[in-house]
Amino acid sequence: MDVKTGFFYVFSLIMLFAAFRVITARNPVHAVLFLMLTFSQAAGIWLLLKAEFLAITLVLVYLGAVMVLFLFVVMMLDIHIDTLRQGFWRHFPLALAIGALISLEMAVVLFGGFRAGDAPVVPETVTNAAGQVVQYSNTQALGTVLYTEYLYPLEIAAVILLVAMITAIGLTLRERKDTKKVDPSRQVRVRARDRMEVVKLAPTQAPAPVVEAPAAAEENPK
Written as one string, the DSSP assignment of 145-211 is HHTTTTHHHHHHHHHHHHHHHHHHHHHHTS--SS-----HHHHHS--HHHH----PPPP-PPPPPPP
**Average pLDDT over every residue of 2-19:** 90
| Residue 149: pLDDT over 70 | yes
Rounded-to-5 percentages of helix, strand, coil across the chain: 60, 5, 35
Question: Which residues contact residue 56 at a Cβ distance below 8 angstroms, ignoring those fewer than 6 apart?
Answer: 43
Beta bridge partners of 126: 134
Burial of 199 (0-12, 13-18, 19+ CB in 10 A): exposed
* C-alpha span between 118 and 179 (Å, rounded): 58
Question: Which residues contact residue 191 at a Cβ distance below 8 angstroms, ignoring those fewer than 6 apart?
Answer: none
Which range (17-21, 141-145, 178-182, 189-193) has the least confidence?
Answer: 178-182
Higher pLDDT, 195 or 36: 36
Which of 63-72, 74-83, 139-148 has the highest average model confidence (pLDDT)? 139-148
The per-residue pLDDT for range 156-184, each reduced to its tens digit, is 988 998 898 888 777 776 666 666 777 77
How does residue 10 score in pLDDT terms, banded at 50, 70 and 90? very high
C-alpha R_g of the chain: 35
Instruction: Look at residue 123 in the predicted model and tell me its pLDDT.
Output: 53
CB-CB neighbours of 25 under 10 Å? 16
Beta bridge partners of 134: 126
- CATH tag, 1-79: 1.20.120.1200
**Percent of the chain residues past pLDDT 90, beyond the cut:** 11
| Residue 35: pLDDT over 60 | yes
Instruction: Look at residue 165 in the predicted model and tell me its pLDDT.
Output: 83
Q: Output the pTM of the full model.
A: 0.50
